[in-house]
Amino acid sequence: MFDVVVIGAGPGGAQAALELALRGRSVALLDSRQDIGNKVCTGIVSTQCAEEYSIPQEFRRFTANGATVHTPSGKTIVIRRSEPQAIAIDREKFVQHLASNAASCGAELMLGFRVTKVDVNRFGVRVTASTNGRMEVIEARAIVLATGFQAPLADQMGLDTPNSIGLAAQVEIETDDAETVQVYVRRYLPQTSFGWISPTGPDTAHIGLLGREHPRSVLQGFTEGLKREGFKYRELDRPRFWGVPLRASRRSYSYRCLAVGDAAGQIKPTTGGGIYYAMMAAGMAANTLDDALARDDFSSGRLKKYEDSWKSLLGKDLRLGYMARLFYERLTDAELARILLAADSSGLLDGEVSFDHHSVLVTKALKSSLFMSVLSAIPGVAARLALSR
Ligand SMILES: Cc1cc2nc3c(=O)[nH]c(=O)nc-3n(C[C@H](O)[C@H](O)[C@H](O)COP(=O)(O)OP(=O)(O)OC[C@H]3O[C@@H](n4cnc5c(N)ncnc54)[C@H](O)[C@@H]3O)c2cc1C
């Protein structure tokens, strides 16, 4: 019997397995894929995340000091900093590196194991997985559920699945035209979406988008718009589609079980960035489980400490970020353009803007008299702000 079975070897699960193994716990890290890490994702993380988790240089593909924001009307806002702000990493290699570090520290890496069922009783957890056409049962004292977006196992564990979702599309391209990160705020995109061109090297990039509308047709409209404005590229692969939880779970723990990462909706509702949050939550999950294992106490009261810790670190960002997203979705193009230009001219985007903690920017906006005067001049905006809460 393992101390912990971690289901899902994405950044959340692999980091949880690594941290548990480092604490001397016996861990199995399972994933249905053989090619772990190969999930549709742009792979942008803050420099803080890259330093905190010592992401090796060889996986760092592109460093961004800023971004150009394209407003709905076509006006652009250039954000530039003297220091690097974000790094596009080779996400697949990084996740594989994390999992192999976990294995070097003693975790058993079980790839090609699709978990179909989890039974919990007062003696432990029985995890049933299919692999190579046969079923295997793996036993543990507790599990970490790190199965990503819309994890079907969450229901079996009595956890709620994040219920507000975004739909994303991405395609890898070859281009000579992508020198910096470009963010398209509704330009060539419908009401709820935003899009990006994110360089991954001297002549490669991702074109991607996130919103609530049907991503296949939105991607088509977006790429047609980019071509009209003269952006030249060649697709290196077919477009890929996936979902993003936009609102955190109300409950991320149950008897002998903790949910981590996208499975718990630990992702920035504004931009859909979830790698760093998943890894931070994984560390907190490992702490709580280590303590629970030492006491042989897996009760909800004990495991709730995990939820208390991640909510105290990330809860405000998730709450205010979700409010900001709903507000964005309710604005007309003209209102949005006015707000973005006001944010620029009021100095809101100057100075320190945290890449990871968006509540800081929302709070700064609410305190800026110039920005708030533009906001309050837009009819009905106060009501829409209130609706977003
Ligand atoms: C288009 C797009 C772009 C994105 N860009 C960024 C970005 O630039 N930066 C950023 O920080 N975030 C980004 N994200 C979000 C980011 O990808 C996720 O937040 C992050 O991967 C969450 O990690 P995770 O470990 O929770 O889940 P995942 O990375 O989804 O890993 C879950 C793992 O569980 C496995 N699994 C699922 N079910 C089972 C099962 N039953 N049995 C066994 N294994 C199972 C899967 O195979 C998978 O390997 C993006 C998302 C999308 C869709």
Tens of pLDDT, residues 298-350: 998 999 999 999 999 999 999 999 988 998 898 888 888 888 887 777 777 77
For residue 269, the model assigns a pLDDT of 94
Do 97 and 25 belong to one domain? Answer: yes
DSSP class of residue 57 equals G
Please identify, among 221, 244, 267, the residue that sits at the C-terminal boundary of a domain. Answer: 244
Do 143 and 37 belong to one domain? Answer: yes
115 ligand 1 Cβ < 6 A = yes
For residue 386, the model assigns a pLDDT of 66
Residue 57 CA to ligand 1 centre (angstroms) = 22
134 burial via Cβ count (<10 Å: 0-12, 13-18, 19+): exposed
For residue 350, the model assigns a pLDDT of 74
Residue 165 CA to ligand 1 centre (angstroms) = 14
Query: Does a structural domain hold residue 71?
Result: no
Do 114 and 186 belong to one domain? Answer: no
Q: Atom 17 of ligand 1 has which residue's CA nearest to it?
A: 41
Query: Does a structural domain hold residue 337?
Result: yes
Query: Does a structural domain hold residue 149?
Result: yes
CB distance 253 to 306 below 8 Å:
yes
Name the domain count of the chain.
3
Do 223 and 276 belong to one domain? Answer: no
Do 174 and 239 belong to one domain? Answer: yes
388: pLDDT strictly greater than 70: no
Do 27 and 104 belong to one domain? Answer: yes
354 Cβ neighbours under 8 A, 6+ residues apart: 360, 361
97: pLDDT strictly greater than 70: yes
274 ligand 1 Cβ < 6 A = yes
Please identify, among 183, 212, 244, the residue that sits at the C-terminal boundary of a domain. Answer: 244
Task: Supply angle C-alpha 144, 150, 151, rounded to 5.
Answer: 30
272 ligand 1 Cβ < 6 A = yes
172 ligand 1 Cβ < 6 A = no
Residue 210 CA to ligand 1 centre (angstroms) = 15
CATH value at residue 259 = 3.50.50.60
Residue 360: domain span: 321-388
Query: Does a structural domain hold residue 11?
Result: yes
Please identify, among 316, 332, 348, the residue that sits at the C-terminal boundary of a domain. Answer: 316
126 ligand 1 Cβ < 6 A = no
200 ligand 1 Cβ < 6 A = no
10 ligand 1 Cβ < 6 A = yes
Query: Does a structural domain hold residue 60?
Result: no
pTM exceeds 0.85: yes
Do 10 and 133 belong to one domain? Answer: yes
* pLDDT 10s digits, 50-60: 999 999 999 99
Mean pLDDT of the chain: 92
Q: How far apart are the first and last CA of the chain?
A: 46
Q: Atom 27 of ligand 1 has which residue's CA nearest to it?
A: 148
Do 149 and 216 belong to one domain? Answer: no
* pLDDT 10s digits, 160-204: 887 899 999 999 999 998 889 999 998 999 999 999 999 999 999
Question: Which of these ranges, 24-38, 246-260, 360-374, has the smallest mean pLDDT?
Answer: 360-374
Do 118 and 169 belong to one domain? Answer: no
261 ligand 1 Cβ < 6 A = yes
CB distance 7 to 115 below 8 Å:
yes
Do 210 and 351 belong to one domain? Answer: no
Nearest Cα neighbor of 13 from 255, 356, 274 is: 274
CB distance 140 to 5 below 8 Å:
yes
